[in-house]
Amino acid sequence: MTVKKTFPKILWLIFSSSIFFIILYFALFYYTKKAEKQVYKVSVEQFDNEIHKLLDLESKPILVAINNDTNWDEFVSFISTKDSTWFNETIGNELEIYDADYLGAYDAQKNFLIRTPTPSIKTIDFIPKHAMDLLNVEGIKKFYLKIPDGIVEVTGAAIHPSDDPLKNKTKTSGYFFVVRLIDSDFLKNIQKTTSSSVQFIDVKEKLPPEKHTISSIYQLKDAENKVVGTLLFKRNFEVYFENTTNLLYAIIITFFINLLINLAYTRKLVYYPLDLIRRVLETGNKKAIQELKKTTGEFSYIGNLFEENNKQKIELINAKIKAEEGDRLKSSFLANLSHEIRTPMNAINGFTDLIINTNINETEKLEYLNIIEKSGKNLVSIIDDLIEMSKIDSNQLKPNFAVVNLESCVNELYETIKVTIVNKAIEFLLIKSSKPAEFNIVTDDIKLKQVIINLLTNAIKFTDEGFVTFGYEIDEKNELIHFTIRDTGLGIDEEEHKNIFDRFKRVDSDVSIKVGGLGLGLAISKAYVELLGGTISLESKIGEGSTFYFSIPLKYSKSDHITVRSINNEEVVKSEKEVILIAEDDNINFLLFQKMMQNKCYEIIRAINGKEAVDICLNNPNIDLVLMDIKMPIMDGFEALEQIQPIRPNLPIIAQTAYSSSEDKERIEAAGFSDYITKPLSRERLFELITKYLDKSTNNELH
């Protein structure tokens, strides 16, 4: 009877245990499939959001650039004048800037005016009129079109005067369009940006499901919001749930073999991990993910997937924030650049127009010319900074180490800068070193001087009263030279210290806005110091002034003691009736030389290219000096120098060049030119060089 009573209980236990396990199995299977669907759904949503964000960011530079160009008075004037030369030279040259295949302009009546295409787009006029109507409302719009050359991305903007920031549609002067052909190169660029495969698909095509792949559809819509094409983005999604399913089958077989063991550990091995998955899916609980990773089998793998998924979310958010910040900073920099370039250009154009078209007395004329000269120098300074920053970014700069007399170098800088300080109650001091350099050092003196000049110029610019000092100390123990530039000027907020050397983060204040500039001097100085193997830092407080410190390696060239050279202040002496050859292909530049030298007793001969300059020098022994342009047709200045020097080694040849970087100057000196003068030309510098080398030539002849 006991057996009979016990047996039904055992059967009931087995049956109830089986029912329990079957229910547990289906629950586990359900939660696994739910996790699979949830992870896949979240990943697809993230991928789709990422694709749309990245494509929007990829188009942002074009929107910024086209907004600047279409809010330009000269562009408005072009619509009226239809000056194709202006368009081709000013706007047509921006194909590379826009990275586009077609630039086109229409007038206010939507009539086609002009285009600048690449060979890939042969269609001339394909912008629909209704798209231009939309621009009157929206100002700027991006859409897609299907043309004979293929599907293109079109970014259009209405052209307005600069005094119409609200872009009133009644003031629309015309329309400007930037077009990019969606070809293989375009797709490769998007593929690289999104880290996924990209392909065209038919609008009506139905996508077959693919295992371990996530995809996103990006519809290309025209101005009327009609789909003209579709891009399919795909990325591998390596999440495998088959092993989990197989494990579930193994569990149910193992259960019937060892029922008691499975019953004892069901909660630990099954329910608890599933509860963790539920908590992760419902709340994203990080503690639950860590506990899930500590479990065994596929649950630990799922925990790793959840953790990786969270990391990808954070990385995507950080990348988005960084991209938006970088885009904002670059847009701000470009806007500031546009302002800084247009400011001196406005002065140059405006006062030139006043001189030409109005009746003014000589005093006003001289005042206007001084303003034009100052604005021109400011514009050249901005361009020089941009070129130097571009070389730094592309790693084209290399130090040119040479033997340098440090004490003489510092004294020369002091004497040079001292005479430039006018109209300011500033005491400018050179702090003598307690232990001056006893020997020549090895460094790049051009870059070292530029760093000191940049820091001193900044200090003087932002100091109205008090003092500006600089000096150096030798640290032989650590083999360093420490430089210090101190001022009692405006000072810098401590929160801005971290941004002061960043090229895109200009510290704006009333004074910095007033003095102007791109704020690249400190970024260039930091790059130069690091190029020399040193470091730079600052201490500053608002209202108390600033102190910049930088150090470079100390390396002596030899053991001989040195003497400090005195500053050369010799007076310029005039020459008479000497023959000067000016090799210059540009008529305006040659005219400038003639006007500068018309009151001097020089005989001027012109060569319009390098070959002609060589022929004149070899056939005319009366040539006393040559002003050689570097960039000329047929034969450039370097090639001409190579042919003249062997025949006339004592003939002074001065290079005249529009290049102004330290590397260009080093190349000119290495080529063997007697000296150089940079454009824009300085009249004082020109006559200083002419007098110097004509006197040398005369002395050589006497000896």
Instruction: Give the pLDDT confidence of 437-489 residue by residue, as tens digits.
Output: 778 888 888 788 888 988 888 888 888 888 999 999 998 889 899 999 999 88
Asked whether residue 99 is domain-assigned, the answer is: yes
Asked whether residue 642 is domain-assigned, the answer is: yes
Same domain for 409 and 530? yes
Q: Can you give the residue range of the structural domain that contains 592?
A: 576-702
Same domain for 198 and 292? no
Residue 243 is predicted with a pLDDT of: 60
Asked whether residue 558 is domain-assigned, the answer is: no
pTM of structure: 0.39
Same domain for 540 and 425? yes
* Spatial separation of the C-alpha atoms in residues 30 and 38, rounded to whole Å: 12
User: Buried b / exposed e across 500-523, counting CB within 10 Å, b at 16+?
Assistant: bbebbbbeebeeeeeebbbbbbbb
Per-residue pLDDT reduced to its tens digit, 197-206: 888 876 565 6
**Peptide bond connecting 436 to the previous residue in cis, omega within 30 degrees of 0:** no
| CATH at residue 384 | 1.10.287.130
What helix, strand, coil percent values describe the chain, rounded to 5? Answer: 55, 20, 25
Same domain for 158 and 94? yes
Same domain for 424 and 448? yes
Kindly state the average pLDDT of the residues 632-644: 90
Asked whether residue 562 is domain-assigned, the answer is: no
Residue 74 is predicted with a pLDDT of: 87
Helix (H, G, I), strand (E, B) or coil at 501: coil
Segment of 447-451, 492-496, 566-570 carrying the highest mean pLDDT? 447-451
* Spatial separation of the C-alpha atoms in residues 449 and 459, rounded to whole Å: 15
The secondary structure of 263-315 as a DSSP string is HHHHIIIIIHHHHHHHHHHHH--HHHHHHHHHS-THHHHHHHHHHHHHHHHHH
Asked whether residue 559 is domain-assigned, the answer is: no
Same domain for 531 and 425? yes
Least reliable range by pLDDT among 80-94, 239-253, 310-324, 498-512: 498-512
The secondary structure of 48-78 as a DSSP string is HHHHHHHHHHHHHHHHHHHHHHHT-HHHHHH
Cα–Cα distance list, 356 to 170, 197, 351, 601, 649 (Å): 34, 60, 9, 30, 46
| CATH at residue 223 | 3.30.450.20
Same domain for 484 and 499? yes
Cα–Cα distance list, 630 to 619, 624, 656, 680 (Å): 21, 19, 6, 14
Token couple for 590: 């040659």
Question: Which residue would you say has higher pLDDT here, 238 or 497?
Answer: 497
Same domain for 366 and 500? no
Q: Side-chain half-sphere of 376: how many Cα atoms within 13 Å?
A: 14
Helix (H, G, I), strand (E, B) or coil at 463: coil
Same domain for 288 and 377? no
Residue from 438, 690, 451 nearest 556 by CA: 438
pLDDT over 70 at 1, yes or no: no
CB 673, CB 653: distance < 8 Å: yes
Residue 590 is predicted with a pLDDT of: 84
Same domain for 538 and 678? no
* Spatial separation of the C-alpha atoms in residues 428 and 330, rounded to whole Å: 36
The overall average pLDDT reported for the chain is 78
CB 449, CB 413: distance < 8 Å: yes
Residue 627's CB: how many other CB atoms inside 10 A?
A: 25
pLDDT over 80 at 422, yes or no: no
Return the beta strands (E) in 8-148 as ranges.
102-107, 112-117, 140-147
pLDDT band at 551 (very low <50, low <70, confident <90, very high): very high
pLDDT over 70 at 647, yes or no: yes
Asked whether residue 58 is domain-assigned, the answer is: no
Residue 266 is predicted with a pLDDT of: 57
pLDDT over 90 at 139, yes or no: no
Asked whether residue 59 is domain-assigned, the answer is: no
Q: Given CA atoms 502, 505, 506, 510 in this order, what sign does their dihedral have?
A: negative
Helix (H, G, I), strand (E, B) or coil at 335: helix
Per-residue pLDDT reduced to its tens digit, 397-413: 677 788 888 888 888 88
Asked whether residue 374 is domain-assigned, the answer is: yes
Question: Which residue would you say has higher pLDDT here, 574 or 420?
Answer: 420
Single out the residue in 496, 521, 553 at which a domain terminates: 553
CB 250, CB 244: distance < 8 Å: no
Same domain for 125 and 199? yes
Same domain for 294 and 337? no
What are the two backbone dihedrals, phi and then psi, of residue 623, each rounded to the nearest 5 degrees? Answer: -65, 120
Please state whether beta strands 601-607 and 576-583 pair in parallel, antiparallel, or not at all (unpaired): parallel
* Spatial separation of the C-alpha atoms in residues 630 and 661, rounded to whole Å: 14
| CATH at residue 654 | 3.40.50.2300
- CA-angle at 452, arms to 451 and 454, nearest 5°: 65
Residue 240 is predicted with a pLDDT of: 55
Q: In this prediction, what percent of the chain has a pLDDT beyond 70?
A: 75
Least reliable range by pLDDT among 88-102, 239-253, 348-362, 507-521: 507-521
Single out the residue in 203, 236, 269 at which a domain terminates: 236
Domains: count for the chain: 5
CB 490, CB 463: distance < 8 Å: yes
Residue 612 is predicted with a pLDDT of: 92
Single out the residue in 219, 236, 253 at which a domain terminates: 236
pLDDT over 90 at 654, yes or no: yes
